[in-house]
Amino acid sequence: MQGMVFIDKPSGITSFDVVKTIRKKLRVKKAGHCGTLDPLATGLLVVLLGQSTKLFSRFSEFDKAYEATLELGVSTTTGDCQGDVIDRRSIDGISCKDIQHTLDVFKGDVIQVPPMFSALKYKGKKLYELARKGIEVPRKERNIKIYELNLNKFYLPYVDFSIHCSKGTYVRSLAQDIGAKLGCGACIVKIRRIGIGSFSINDAIKLDQVNESHIRNWPS
């Protein structure tokens, strides 16, 4: 068996949990996901099966698209609402215009530092494993590109936005950077991936619906 399955990942489980479920449902030994989604996140997760796992490098190069909500005035250890709160600040005086201006600053070529709570490795150890032990290590800056960053809704302390970005972009880090720019801090409370390259969340199915009829081949 080979091919790929597009899943609308639910919140509360890991990307690897999705892969394990698909392995069991489809009775396939070899499977892997493309582009990890945090447990908090929902949306498009591509799972490759059998020999199609060789396509991983192609998917890793694709741009991504997300819809997200950040909460202003709250900073956490993870950059999202599942981390420990480390700071709270006033958001008095922050306007919709301030938000729009700040989002515009982050459009284009951006230098970003990956978060400690990520699956990147440092001397063979995953960063999130070190972070859980209270250990922080240097992370290399990376060049990313944000093609679109749009304000969808402003309702303090929350801001809904959408983003189209290059590979390697951490939306949690972006939220922290936005909060720092505004001077109040911010964290992600909701995130949904809606696109990977030309593939859309509209192509995805719920995890409990998966069967062999949902296996796709690489488009010719």
In the structure, what pLDDT confidence band is assigned to residue 3 with cuts at 50, 70 and 90?
A: very high
Q: What is the mean pLDDT of residues 7-35?
A: 93
- Positive or negative torsion for Cα 202, 204, 205, 206: negative
Task: Output DSSP code: residue 26.
Answer: H
- Cα distance between residue 1 and residue 217, in whole Å: 11
Query: What pLDDT does 129 receive?
Result: 76
Q: What is the share, in percent, of the chain residues with pLDDT greater than 90?
A: 74
Q: If you search the block for the tokens 């890991």, which residue do you land on?
A: 14
Does pLDDT of 182 surpass 90?
A: yes
64-88: pLDDT as tens digits: 999 999 999 999 998 999 999 999 9
CATH fold for domain 3-61+197-214: Pseudouridine synthase (3.30.2350)
24-52: pLDDT as tens digits: 999 999 999 988 898 899 999 999 999 89
> Does the annotation count 38 as an active-site position?
yes
Q: What is the share, in percent, of the chain residues with pLDDT greater than 70?
A: 99
Q: Quick check: do 3-61+197-214 and 64-195 share a fold?
A: yes
Class of domain 64-195: alpha beta
Which residue ranges make up each domain of the chain? 3-61+197-214, 64-195
* Catalytic-labelled residue, pool 8, 17, 38, 177: 38
Spatial CA neighbour of 40 closest among 187, 185, 196: 187
In the structure, what pLDDT confidence band is assigned to residue 56 with cuts at 50, 70 and 90?
A: confident
Q: If you search the block for the tokens 């939220």, which residue do you land on?
A: 175
Query: What pLDDT does 147 receive?
Result: 98
